[in-house]
């Protein structure tokens, strides 16, 4: 690419636009976007290059795109070409293919190429409006889901069906965090908005939910999606579009590739970490033999992830995982009879069940087995929905709730830590009558991690800049009792596990797991 070539292309656009109608120069502008975008992108990746220099070029080129387009479809196509080229330029700096001295020199060449008569004076009066519409953008037209006044996020989760409380609570926590920051003026003057789509916790519906969020609601990124089987559909959808997929309510390893997918970030500890903590507790503190531990799991990728975590914990303790008993039930049902029958025939008798289930199925399994095994130890991973499980067991009676363990990825909601008090105060302010809940607290914490990154990124927000910021987040202290952070090879902010157990009143009490 040379400054002369860029100037010739610009000259062709300007002369063509003066003599012909909009849309006649689309091919030239597309070629120009492919050449100009990497220069803009590499400059944006270098913090020492003054943003007003880049902005001046961006504003001129945005006008060219607008006036070379015969319709909205053409304008959108050209804008996407520019966006992809800008991302290529960023990636070149990140990968070390271009250093910032070269990026600065290329930008200077580009500035000279577009110097002289302003594009707006040649193209016409519409340029002023076009330039105004992109005044706060770092690279071409505003990214989808971002305007001068708002940033749109989406959540695809169950808002119907047997797992609906998980979706409702996750959305509640995120909304609470967004409302709190919006009351303080938003982030760089932009309000954060959350749009929801119901997938019913069925992967067959998740693709349509994601499409609704991106195409109808025009969201910038995804936050707080619920579930492992649904994530198996949602993540490829997001990755294909290079869209942020943040803070999902699942501990599955499909969100934890090595090295991590660039656009996927997790707040919470993994199911492998949760099950490892409870297996060690059962073997080392409760002195159970490995053959006395079984797994009650949903018969899908969520259950598979939890079962794999138990097997990994066994191996880490030097114990064979070949004979672990798995008791299954079908997703979105409470049909646990076959699992109960399988439990009955086990010899020697099972003394502890690690449950990888949702709250209604877990409660039904406990209801049907408590009388058969009065001393049974039941443990659940955090996805179960702690408050919903407690409510279900409370209705059954004290002996069903007492002693049931749930591993948590956030501190106790009954506690008085700074983070929990802030959450409870905000929840009471924006959603009076809603009780504090472990799931909504997780949504609140995850949203605040994202909010901090958006603030650090600054007003020139786009996906690549936000991810660069997330990957440099270190030692973030939100008052949880553990510091949070990411890296280029670490896209999980927290590895902390808290132990809790229900008492006879179905209230969670702290439980030391070590």
**pLDDT tens string 375-401:** 999 999 999 999 999 999 999 999 999
- Beta carbons of 259 and 274 less than 8 angstroms apart: no
User: CA 225 to CA 208: how far, in whole Å?
Assistant: 14
pLDDT band at 62 (very low <50, low <70, confident <90, very high): confident
Beta bridge partner(s), residue 406: 380, 500
pLDDT tens, position by position, 400-424? 999 999 999 999 999 999 999 999 9
User: What pLDDT shows up at residue 175?
Assistant: 98
Q: Which residue has the higher pLDDT, 77 or 377?
A: 377
Among the ranges 27-36, 95-104, 295-304, which has the highest mean pLDDT value?
295-304
Burial group, residue 433, by CB count within 10 angstroms (0-12, 13-18, 19+):
exposed
- Is residue 3 exposed (0-12), middle (13-18) or buried (19+ Cβ within 10 Å)? middle
Band of residue 153 on the pLDDT scale cut at 50, 70, 90: very high
C-alpha of 425 from chain center: 24
Please give the structure tokens belonging to residue 506. 């179905």
**Rounded to 5 degrees, what are φ and ψ at 196?**
-120, 145
State the average pLDDT over residues 105-128. 56
Please identify which residue in the block is written with the tokens 């995850």. 446
pLDDT of residue 111: 78
- Going by pLDDT thresholds of 50, 70 and 90, the confidence category of residue 85 is confident
Q: Of 181, 234, 194, nearest to 455 (Cα)?
A: 181
Identify the bridge partners of residue 151 per DSSP, sorted by sequence position: 146, 192
Q: Is 90 exceeded by the pLDDT of residue 54?
A: no
- Do residues 414 and 507 make contact, with C-beta atoms less than 8 angstroms apart? yes
| pLDDT given for residue 30 in this prediction | 79
What are the C-alpha distances in Å from 74 to residues 5, 135, 383, 488? 23, 21, 45, 36
Residue 129 has pLDDT above 90, yes or no: no
- Per-residue pLDDT band at 24 (split at 50, 70, 90): low
**Angle, alpha carbons 158-162-167 (nearest 5°):** 25
Residue 430 has pLDDT above 80, yes or no: yes
Q: How confident is the model at residue 110 (pLDDT cuts 50, 70, 90)?
A: confident
pLDDT of residue 113: 67
Q: Copy the structure tokens of residue 433.
A: 């009558």
Structure token digits, residue 168: 């409702």
Instruction: Please calculate the CA angle 147-151-156 and round it to the nearest 5 degrees.
Output: 135
Contact criterion met (CB below 8 Å) for 439 and 385: yes
User: What is the structure's pLDDT at 123?
Assistant: 34
CA distance 463 to 179: 22
Question: What does the pLDDT read at residue 130?
Answer: 36
Residue 479: is its pLDDT beyond 50? yes
pLDDT bin (cut points 50, 70, 90) of residue 119 is: very low
Average confidence (pLDDT) over 250-256: 96
The confidence score (pLDDT) of residue 99 equals 87
**pLDDT over 70 percentage in the chain:** 89
Asked if the model's pLDDT at residue 73 lies above 80, the reply is: no
Q: Which of 17-21, 244-248, 502-506 has the lowest mean pLDDT?
A: 17-21
Which range is least confidently modeled, 87-91, 156-160, 300-304, 496-500?
87-91
State yes or no: pLDDT of 15 exceeds 70. no
**Are 307 and 321 in contact, with CB atoms under 8 Å apart?**
no
Q: Is 510 helix (H, G, I), strand (E, B) or coil?
A: strand
Inform me whether the pLDDT recorded for 139 exceeds 90.
no
Identify the pLDDT of residue 22: 44
Identify whether the C-beta of residue 459 lies closer than 8 Å to the C-beta of residue 187: no
Average pLDDT over residues 75-84: 80
Listed residue (358, 178, 400, 377) closest to 279, CA to CA: 377
Instruction: Give the per-residue pLDDT at 102.
Output: 86
Average pLDDT, integer, range 181-192: 96
What's residue 18's pLDDT? Answer: 43
CB neighbours (10 Å) of residue 261? 16
The pLDDT of residue 255 is 97
pLDDT, tens digit, for every residue of 281-290? 999 999 999 9
**325-372 pLDDT, tens per residue?**
999 999 999 999 999 999 999 999 999 999 999 999 999 999 999 999
Rounded average pLDDT over 29-45: 85
Residue 322 contacts residue 309 (beta carbons within 8 Å): no
Residue 271 three-state SS? helix
155 vs 3, higher pLDDT: 155
Using DSSP bridges, classify how beta strands 352-356 and 377-380 pair: parallel, antiparallel or unpaired: parallel
Tell me the average pLDDT across 314-332: 94
pLDDT recorded at residue 124: 36
Q: What is the mean pLDDT of residues 455-476?
A: 95
Which residues make Cβ contacts (< 8 Å) with residue 284, sequence separation at least 6? none
Residue 43 has pLDDT above 60, yes or no: yes
């Amino acid at each position: 690419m040379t400054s002369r070539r860029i100037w010739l292309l610009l000259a062709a656009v300007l002369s063509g636009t003066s003599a012909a109608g909009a849309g006649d120069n689309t091919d030239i502008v597309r070629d120009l976007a492919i050449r100009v975008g990497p220069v803009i992108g590499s400059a944006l990746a270098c913090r020492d290059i003054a943003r007003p220099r880049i902005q001046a070029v961006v504003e001129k080129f945005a006008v060219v795109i607008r006036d070379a387009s015969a319709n909205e479809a053409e304008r959108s196509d050209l804008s996407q070409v520019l966006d992809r080229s800008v991302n290529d330029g960023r990636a070149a700096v990140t990968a070390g293919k271009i250093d910032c001295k070269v990026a600065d020199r290329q930008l200077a060449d580009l500035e000279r190429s577009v110097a002289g008569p302003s594009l707006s004076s040649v193209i016409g009066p519409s340029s002023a409006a076009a330039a105004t519409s992109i005044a706060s953008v770092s690279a071409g037209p505003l990214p989808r889901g971002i305007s001068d006044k708002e940033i749109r996020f989406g959540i695809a989760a169950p808002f119907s069906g047997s797992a609906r409380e998980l979706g409702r609570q996750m959305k509640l926590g995120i909304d609470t965090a967004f409302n709190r920051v919006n009351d303080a003026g938003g982030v760089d003057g932009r309000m954060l908005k959350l749009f929801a789509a119901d997938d019913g916790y069925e992967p067959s519906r998740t693709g349509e939910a994601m499409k609704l969020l991106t195409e109808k609601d025009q969201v910038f990124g995804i936050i707080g999606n619920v579930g492992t089987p649904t994530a198996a559909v949602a993540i490829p959808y997001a990755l294909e579009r290079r869209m942020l997929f943040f803070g999902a309510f699942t501990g599955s390893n499909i969100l934890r590739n090595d090295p991590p997918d660039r656009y996927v970030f997790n707040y919470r500890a993994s199911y492998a970490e949760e099950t490892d903590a409870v297996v060690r507790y059962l073997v080392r503190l409760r002195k159970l033999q490995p053959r006395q531990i079984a797994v009650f799991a949903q018969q899908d990728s969520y259950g598979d992830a939890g079962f794999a975590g138990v097997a990994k914990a066994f191996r880490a303790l030097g114990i064979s995982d070949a004979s672990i008993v798995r008791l299954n039930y079908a997703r979105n049902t409470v049909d646990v009879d076959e699992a109960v029958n399988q439990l009955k025939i086990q010899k020697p008798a099972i003394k502890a069940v690690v449950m990888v289930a949702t709250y209604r199925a877990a409660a039904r399994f406990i209801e049907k087995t408590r009388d058969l095994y009065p001393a049974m130890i039941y443990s659940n991973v955090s996805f179960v929905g702690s408050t919903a499980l407690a409510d279900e067991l409370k209705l059954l009676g004290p002996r069903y709730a007492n002693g049931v363990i749930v591993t948590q990825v956030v501190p106790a909601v009954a506690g008085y830590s700074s983070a929990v008090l802030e959450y409870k105060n905000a929840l009471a302010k924006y959603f009076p009558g809603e009780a504090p809940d472990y799931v909504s607290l997780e949504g609140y914490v995850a949203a605040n991690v994202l909010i901090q990154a958006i603030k650090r990124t600054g007003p020139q927000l786009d996906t690549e800049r936000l991810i660069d910021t997330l990957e440099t987040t270190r030692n973030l202290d939100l008052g949880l009792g553990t510091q949070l952070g990411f890296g280029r090879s670490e896209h999980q902010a927290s590895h902390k596990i808290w132990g809790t157990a229900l008492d006879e009143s179905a209230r969670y009490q702290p439980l030391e797991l070590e």
